[in-house]
Amino acid sequence: MSLDHASLNELRIDRGGDQPAAGRRRIWPWLVAMAAVGAAGWWFFLGRSVEVRTDTARAAAGGPRVALNASGYVTARREATVSSKVTGKVVEVTIEEGKEVKENEVLARLDDTNVRADLHLAEAQLASGKAALEETRVRLDEAEKELRRVTDLQQNRIATQADLDHAAADVNARKAQIEKQQADVDVAAKQVAVCRQQLDDTVIRAPFAGMVTMKNAQPGEMISPISAGGGYTRTGICTIVDMTSLEIEVDVNESYINRVSTAQPVEAVLDAYPDWKIPAHVIAIIPTADRQKATVKVRVGFDQTDPRILPEMAVKVAFRDTGKDQSRPGDVLVPKSALAKEDSRDVVFVVRDGRVKRRMVSPGTTQDGEVAIHSGLSAGERVVTEGPRNLRDGARVRELPR
């Protein structure tokens, strides 16, 4: 059977020669959409700036770390309110606040009119007693001569035994009188010494060298070693402080007293000079506790005195721990919040040129919210302390103000 050409064309299968061009036209929009989504994801994760807070790594000073922080006050070990030994009226005050005085320097004088009169009377009584004693000695010499003459006469039977006994009694009486007058002279001499001491007590002197911190009396006021009623009598002339005896008294909570030991190094900072770190050391731990405050008093001494240190100044002290892990030269300190963990490794994120760089580090001890970094970080570099949890290496960041 034969088929014509037209019949054969009808039997040919049409494979749709125009369909490939139409399919390609439908695929291109999907490819463009996927590219846009990828670009948006790249911008979201890497191109968009992430807000973070940063801090600067600073060099560690090195040396002992702080075992305990406490606060206290500067006190003087030698401080005295100088008073008088007798009651009297002040006639002169030779000092003012802030004046340095030497030991035994005159601070004030009291009215000594009555004391001088008593001294003159005692000296006159002493002179009278000495004169009477001298007269009795002359009489004794005369009585002894008379006794010798009567003895010779009695041996020659010219004088009687009664005359001899009378002469001997006269000699013994003169000797007894001399002993009594000698005692009277000694008493008068001691009375003179007492009056002179009382006169010296009217002059008030400095018991030790120091600085006058308070002036309590003025000329014309009464002063007494004991308090008198009515409030018109002073009990002190001034207050003197030995500035070389200044130290710090700190009340340490008894729960932390085990961190303090004798001769332990201390760093003190006065509230008046917060940038001045003063080297000091523990002098003693007072062996008793205050049950009301649950504290133990610790005495801290300055390694070197300074005129800027004044009594009753507030001070903060840091007890150094020399027996544990210390920061080393070359270490840097960063806030504890800057340290992160990735795959059991310690890392920090360093900000440079608007992007973060993950840096593996070797941390050391943590103290007061700071971590000592032994390696992997340099002083002056800025590290992220607050940021998103999914912060990635190379992300663009924007630093927020503190």
Are residues 302 and 370 part of one domain? no
**Residue 298: domain span:** 65-76+242-321
- Reported as a pLDDT band with limits 50, 70 and 90, residue 378 is confident
Cβ burial, residue 359 (10 Å; 0-12/13-18/19+): middle
| pLDDT for 354 | 86
Would the pLDDT of 1 be above 50? no
Angle in degrees, CA 77, 78, 81, rounded to 5? 130
Contact (CB, 8 A) for 316 and 281: no
Q: How confident is the model at residue 280 (pLDDT cuts 50, 70, 90)?
A: very high
| Residue showing tokens 């009169």 | 117
**Does some domain include residue 309?**
yes
CATH code at 394? 2.40.420.20
Residues 119 and 170 in one domain: yes
pLDDT at residue 227 above 70? Answer: no
In terms of pLDDT, which residue wins out, 313 or 65? 313
Is residue 371 within 8 A of residue 339, CB to CB? The reply is yes
For 2-6, 88-92, 150-154, 398-402, which range has the lowest pLDDT when averaged over its residues? 2-6
Residue 341, number of CB atoms within 10 A of its CB: 8
Q: From residue 354, give the alpha-carbon distance in Å to each of 42, 84, 189.
A: 17, 76, 98
> Domain of 298: which CATH number?
2.40.30.170
In a domain, 362, yes or no: yes
Instruction: Kindly state whether residue 23 falls inside one of the protein's structural domains.
Output: no
Distance (Å, rounded) from C-alpha 83 to C-alpha 97? 16
Residue 360 clears pLDDT 70, i.e. is over it: yes
39 within domain boundaries: no
Q: Which of 199, 233, 266 is the last residue of a domain?
A: 199
- The answer to the question of residue 32 being in a domain is no
40 pLDDT exceeds 60?
no
Same domain? 217 vs 193 = no
Same structural domain, 107 and 213:
yes
Stretch 20-35: mean pLDDT: 58
- Residue 253 pLDDT greater than 90, yes or no: yes
pLDDT(19) > 70: no
At which of 187, 215, 241 does a domain end?
A: 241
123 belongs to a structural domain: yes
| Judgement on whether residues 125 and 150 belong to the same structural domain of the protein | yes
In a domain, 8, yes or no: no
**pLDDT band at residue 30, thresholds of 50, 70 and 90?**
low
Looking at the structure, tell me whether residues 228 and 103 fall in a common domain: yes
Q: Averaged over 89-93, what is the pLDDT?
A: 95
pLDDT of residue 50: 84
Report if residue 5 sits inside a domain: no
pTM over cut 0.75: no
88 and 224 both lie in a single domain = yes
pLDDT, position 401: 77
Confidence of residue 233 (pLDDT cuts 50, 70, 90): confident
CATH of the domain at 212: 2.40.50.100
Q: Give the residue from 321, 343, 377 where a domain finishes.
A: 321
pLDDT at 38: 58
Asked if residue 276 and residue 137 are part of one domain, the reply reads no
Q: Are residues 157 and 136 in the same domain?
A: yes
Q: What's the whole-number average pLDDT of the chain?
A: 85
Same domain, 94 and 235: yes
When divided into structural domains, the chain yields a total of 4
Q: In which band, very low, low, confident or very high, does the pLDDT at 37 lie, cut at 50, 70 and 90?
A: low
If asked whether residues 119 and 195 sit together in one domain, one would say yes
- Residue 48: per-residue pLDDT: 66
How confident is residue 61, by pLDDT bands cut at 50, 70 and 90? low
Residue 289 scores a pLDDT above 80: yes
Residue 221 or residue 39, greater confidence: 221
| pLDDT per residue as tens digits for the range 361-375 | 988 777 768 888 888
Give residue-wise pLDDT tens across range 114-125: 999 999 999 999
| 211 and 142 share one domain | no
Quick check: 232 pLDDT over 80? no
* Residue 332 pLDDT class (50, 70, 90 cuts): confident
